[in-house]
Structure 1
């Protein structure tokens, strides 16, 4: 099997895991606060990664900084920007802005190398984004401007764009070791936010059932979404390339809709089916030579 094919398989696995994480996070927010959820899931991920990998990597000085910055951008900044943004903006706005990651990644790469990509890539990105927009808006144009929240969401977008660029630079290193170390770095940077939130800590667990749900969901987010998710995503970047891997973000809303259908029982309508077709067509056009 070719490396690129393996990378796409890793990307699809992660997209599936992360797609279902929207439902998991929604459940947890009924019981815990955002920073508490973030720090807990990444503490679990850090412990797991250090348990399965005790190898010490001999980083160069610049690579050590890459790992620290990647952890800060991909874990700390991404989740803090997103969680705080949701206080000030709508889920619709935040979802649409998140879906611009592949577009801004394409523009950023082209700006850095001072060369435009093939027009088909831009056409595919546009079609996929239209599909995501139709999926999220569900046929109703009901956007509201929330300057502070929307601005913070763009902070989340650019955090992920530059995280991806940095991970691509670490291609020659052991992906498991790099993932372990950047997860530790990101978790350490999350501590101040968790401590600040602890001043007004809210934990709404009133029954044994609630406790079991919280524990199971945190394990899912920590083990699968954080530890394995970041590990396989970074492997996908290494094998399939950052552009192809980043395009997988377009597929996240589709997986989330499937999860919503399976777990919560909300059946998709015609807009969901049309938007799914547009997303798949856009990704195909963007990736097809």
Structure 2
């Protein structure tokens, strides 16, 4: 199997895992405060990754910085920007702003190398973004702008953009070890937020059923969405390329819609179907460019 094909399979696997993660996260927020949830998720991921791999990597001084910065950007900054933003802005705004990651990544890469990509890439990105808009808005254009919350979400977007660029620089290294070490770094950087927010700590587990639900959801987020998710995403960046992998973000709302239909029974309307078609067409056109 070609490296690019392997990378695409890794990317699509993570898209499915992250698409369903919204259900688990929404469920857990009924029991835990956001900071505790994020820390518990990545603490579990760190333990699992160290259990799987105990090898050491001989990083150069620059690579040590790259790993630490990647963990800070991709885990600490991204998660905290997103969680705090959601206390000020709507989930709709957050979803739409998150969908701009591939566009900003393309622009950032082009600016850094002072050479712009073909127009078809930007046209494809625009079509895919419009498709995501239809999926998220579901035919009802109702955006409530909140400057602080929306700016924080833009912060999460750029955190992920620069995280991707740093992972790109680590392509020659063992991605299992890199993913393990950056997850540890990101979890450690979360500690000050946990300590600072200790007075707002909330754990509403009152029965054995609650404990089972919380445990299952945390295992899903920690094992599948964080440990395996970050590992496979980082491998996809290395094998399929950072631009192609980042375009997979457009597909996450599509998976969420499918999951919503399968699990909850919500039937997609015409706007969702058109949005899904535009997402697929936009990603295809962007890749062809």
| TM-score, reference length from structure 2 | 0.99
- What corresponds to 1:216 in structure 2? 216
Whole-angstrom distance in 2 between the partners of 1:207 and 1:274: 43
Matched, 1:6 2:10: no
C-alpha distance after superposition, 1:131-180 (max 9, x if no partner): 00111111111111100000000000000000000000000000000000
Partners in 2 of 1:218 and 1:127 — Cα distance? 35
Q: CA deviation at 1:200?
A: 2.1
User: Shift of the alpha carbon at 1:21?
Assistant: 0.1
Superposition deviation, residue 270 in structure 1: 1.2
Question: What is the distance in 2 between the residues matched to 1:55 and 1:48?
Answer: 14
* Residue range with higher mean Cα deviation, 16-25 or 254-263: 254-263
Q: After TM superposition, give the deviation of residue 207 of structure 1 in Å.
A: 2.0
What is the deviation of 1:228?
0.2
Moved more, 253-262 or 226-235: 253-262
Secondary structure, in 3 states, of the residue corresponding to 1:140? coil
Structure 1: gaps (5+ residues) = none
Q: Which residue of 2 aligns with 1:231?
A: 231
Matched, 1:70 2:70: yes
* Secondary structure of the corresponding residue to residue 87 of structure 1: coil
TM-score, normalization: structure 1?
Answer: 0.99
> For residues 195-214 of structure 1, what are the alpha-carbon distances to aligned partners after superposition, in whole Å with 9 as ceiling and x for unaligned?
22221211112222111100
Partners of 1:279 and 1:200 lie apart in 2 by 39
Partner of 1:57: 57
Instruction: Find the counterpart in structure 2 of residue 167 from structure 1.
Output: 167
- In structure 1, what is the equivalent of residue 81 of structure 2? 81
Would you say 1:249 and 2:249 are equivalent positions? Answer: yes
The root-mean-square deviation of aligned C-alpha atoms, in Å, is 0.7
Displacement after TM superposition at 1:39 (Å): 0.5
Deviation at 1:2, TM superposition (A): 1.1
How many pairs are equivalent? 289
1:281 corresponds to: 281
Name stretches of at least 5 consecutive residues in structure 2 with no aligned partner.
none
Mapped partners of 2:112, 2:79: distance in 1: 26
Instruction: Report Cα offsets for 1:25-48 as digits up to 9, x if no partner.
Output: 000011101110110011110001
Q: What is the rounded CA distance, in whole Å, between the counterparts of 1:160 and 1:172 in structure 2?
A: 20
Pairwise CA distance, 1:265: 2.1
List structure 1 runs of 4+ shifted beyond 3 angstroms.
none
Aligned to 1:46: 46
1:111-260 equivalences under 5 Å are 111-260=111-260
Structure 2 residue matching 1:31: 3-state secondary structure: coil
2:106·2:243 contact (CA, 8 Å) conserved in 1? yes
Distance 1:27 1:266 in 2: 18
CA displacement at 1:95 relative to structure 2? 0.5
